[in-house]
Amino acid sequence: MTTPKKNAFPSDFIFGASTSALQIEGSSRADGAGETSWEHASRRPGFLLGPGSIADGSGHYTRVKEDVRLMKEMGLQAYRFSVNWARVFPDGTGKVNEKGLDFYSALVDELLANGIEPFLTVFHWETPQALEDRWGGWRSKDTSRALADYAGVVSSRLSDRVTHFFTVNEIPCFTSFCYNSPIGFAPCVKCTEKEAHQAVFNAFLGHGLSLQAIRAAARRPVQVGIAECAFGYIAPLTSLPEDVAAARRAFRDNNTEAFTLLFEGAYPEEFVRKIGAANMPDYTEEEMKIITGKMDFLGLNIYTAQYAMADPSSENGYRLLEWPESFALLDMPGNYIVPESVYYGPRFCQELWDVPPMYISETGFTCIDNRGLDNPRIDDVGRISALRQYLLQVHRAVDEGILLKGFFYWSLLDNFEWRFAMSKRLGLIHVDFNTMARTPKLSAAYYRDVIRSHAVL
């Protein structure tokens, strides 16, 4: 197929798909694996808002070869997956579970044999429950140090074949959404406001320590970064310079515990005033230096954004706009369809901070993918429409010189979608959760053609 000149990507731009261990593997206690905080919390009555379980997942643990074959048929150039910490260290620390590491070693071999580059996420919310019981999980810096020890083991065993390592995935989602939060992600515990902010800091410290540990243990040169969703992406309501400037300022203000901490190594004065000095986390300047350690790349997980506009009458010079009920939304609460999010997110990161090359490490769309005897195909037109709009904005960013090097769709497979369990489907590949049978959707065919042409179609 001849690559169209219109909407074509550079030859070194890569297309992939992402997953996480807890969401797809199933067999959660197989081969000596320990319990995670998500497994522990999911047994509470009412915690899960849909059917299904982590124990079943999408059955990937026993279907690796089939799933990699489907990746190859789709033409994926890269696959981003995570290692389950509790498979490697069932108690979070201590003796390595060799069978757990063997699974990921075999997965890496299978990917490489099929011409697919592995992008490994060391931690995607798979906190061993033992660490929550022992130390209070991310409320303790002991967990930060344990993460680094675990990251070093993963690097020492797999860096002979894996080049790209993400330290952690979406720090707010395993700290701010979990400790003293109405969102109620696992471990879903009550604590003080200070402890909640301490957990965020400790997670970033764990990232920085893991950055060092992965490099120190690597058996050859590797590239290491983070996959971050921030506390919210912001897009300007219009392209007027005043709205763009307002959105950029709002983006920084809304991410003082994420990108500002990561790239500036400090808490802005306005943030300290907002939460109160008594609720600030405990830290040292040396720990701040560890957090801001230089990365080789930055992964951005972007699903949506909030609109902002200039407002000279407001204290900060901008106004964040509320969503009208009629705004475009597929089947996930809050994930409004805002294609500009994948343009302005990377652009603002590049303009505000000295960021390394970036990847869109996640974006995806939840649809009601009904499939029955009278409808054997899954023509997920809504997902394709949204994906195409987002890819056009990614292309816009690349065309304007923003340092985006790749795009990973979330998710390869329908999976355990956290508190929604199996009630929300984001996959390019449909999974029958009764039989675990896989069926590529029409979106998989569309993405295959995008990859083949290396352009937005």
Residues assigned a catalytic role: 170, 362
* Three-class SS of 353-401: CCCCCEEEEECCCCECCCCECCECCCCCHHHHHHHHHHHHHHHHHHHCC
CA distance 348 to 407: 18
SS3 67: helix
User: Between the CA of residue 99 and those of 31, 60, 173, 339, 357, what are the distances in Å?
Assistant: 6, 16, 28, 42, 35
Q: Which residues contact 80 (CB under 8 A, 6 or more apart)?
A: 16, 17, 18, 19, 119, 120, 121, 166, 227, 361, 408
CA distance 253 to 270: 9
Say which DSSP state 423 is in: G
Determine how many CB atoms are found less than 10 A away from the CB of residue 351: 14
Instruction: For tokens 């471990």, name the residue.
Output: 187
Q: Which two tokens stand for residue 210?
A: 């893991």
Cβ pair 253, 318 in contact under 8 A: no
SS3 449: helix
Q: Which two tokens stand for residue 354?
A: 């000295």
CA distance 80 to 70: 15
Q: Which two tokens stand for residue 185?
A: 């992600």
